[in-house]
Structure 1
């Protein structure tokens, strides 16, 4: 009885995939590989979209200078918290020298924030201190990482712009 049930399930999967039951393992493996590849491409596309975000006028978003320091701050959606660090790394590269802040909003209205400080400025600014300021603005507390890259979160993604503004204020005060 058990083997008949297993055979029925295998044939159902094979029919769904439009292949023979013998080809099911190889096809499932190929589908899993394809899924991984597509997820990677989607992550890259989201990163490019976030970095190349356009203002309503269609011009690329410009980097700012805050108290003589290059600054790039953006609220992004559709970017998983784990993908914010690579996004910050790419932002630091495009900035050259400065501080980058990315605040991502999750589907549950929670926010994740990443602050990156280029190596030449880690003596003046700590990403850990700056991410804690951003996290507080999001209603969170704490956060951690390294002097050049730190991550935190907060319960209120609607305050993403406040978090970016709080980091700007911290740069101006330093």
Structure 2
């Protein structure tokens, strides 16, 4: 299994921390499972206590939460990469919904479990892991990948998420290696 130590901003002797922060009420089992899965890929994972939902993020017309406004509410959280996990239904300006959102090349990202649900918990957790790694990929500088099996492929539907693997394809790994 490949580790995170070759990725950008991660140089020998420098430890990178990924901080997971629940936003609003989130299934505690899901937070634990996401953290455990990320620990298999990344060196250091910290889970913080739940943060409140920013009230300004709610759009009453859409009955959804603006993903960018939720992201902005995380700016005071320390860590090399901060990933919020929420059960809120998120949207972005020109999209009906998003599974997640990230600051490309920044440090903050968010995933939503609102549309990842499945009666089989393994499938649900697989989906959450894929979306978390996808958003972390954006934070470390990757764009969307044309390979529908790559974790960096854009998910237009839950079916796209189900097809993806949980890790980067060779092309994306090469891009990461060349950014060092």
TM-score (norm 2): 0.31
TM-score (norm 1): 0.31
Bigger RCO (CA 8 Å, 6+ sep): 2
Q: Per residue, is there more helix in 1 or in 2?
A: 1
